[in-house]
Amino acid sequence: MNAPRSLTAGLIGRGILASQSPAIHEAEAFDHGVALAYMLVDFDHLGLDDAALGDTLAFLRGVGLTGVNITHPFKQCVIPLLDEVDATAQALGAVNCVRFEEGRTIGFNSDWVGFCWLLESELPGRSLERVAQTGAGGAGSATAWALLSMGTRELRLHDVSYERSTALAERLRAHFPEARVEVCDHAAEAIAGADGVVQSTPVGMTDHPGMPFAAELLRAGQWLADVIYFPRESELVLAARARGLAAVGGEAMVVGQAADPFRRFTGLEPDRARMMRKLRERLAPRTPQGALP
């Protein structure tokens, strides 16, 4: 029997040492008989400035990585550093996957595909007609694209940066002229009367605790999708459930968005259901020894 291939990939971002990406990619590769080492390049932990991103990409390409995922806060600023960006990522204005190929860096975006899978697998049958979204950064670009691709007719955007939400709205209108994309000054304006709410900011992550808006703005009958998956259930998800909403965290999105980079890094076809099952097993609360289940 031939020894499994050996590959190395990674993730670049800030505050990512708790990321499940290494386990997701390495476990799926193992099930395919491939030895994949997936490294975390945490700019906070390494004490690197944002300006080091270009040199970091060049170094990782030079030492033989097959590619890297890109996360907060680099999904947008990485674009001008790349040799090529595919059309969808260019339209989104955000890259979350860089493939190193024949000395070139090629950018893609799989976040929007991951969010489509979240909606399909975690919130099936929910109305997507009128949706409010908080956050217009890299993740927000992807979730908005996914919503409009899946038939949302009215999308209301709110972001702490009016300029950022306006820029995203303009890009979306150019690609989805049949939809109505509004920019709202306040979260309350966006959420009122919406069928569902998407939370796509870093607020609620372990390193960014809190909620991006008051839970009192939510109403029973709405659904809520939070892109955050660590912690597994953000403060906002728990508050939304307490108010009677169908609310989910970002587990399915992280698996859905990991599948395409895994394919690009390894050339193998990922099993999303298996990846999801194993992620949930890792994130499930552990029962202390001797305690009742």
Name the residues annotated as catalytic. Answer: 75
What gap in Å lies between CA 81 and CA 100, rounded to an integer? 13
Compute, in degrees rounded to 10, the torsion defined by CA atoms 176, 179, 180, 185. -60
Furthest C-alpha separation in the chain: 62
Task: Please classify residue 63 by burial: count the beta carbons closer than 10 Å to its beta carbon, then call 0-12 exposed, 13-18 middle and 19+ buried.
Answer: exposed
Residues in a beta bridge with 13:
42
Q: Give the residue carrying structure tokens 């080492």.
A: 37
CB count within 10 Å of CB 120 equals 13
Listing DSSP states for 217-253 in one string gives: G--BTBEEEE---SSSS-HHHHHHHHTT-EEE-SHHH
Residues in a beta bridge with 225:
198, 248
Helix (H, G, I), strand (E, B) or coil at 34: coil
Token digits of residue 124? 């099936």
Name the strand (E) or helix (H) holding 97: strand 97-101
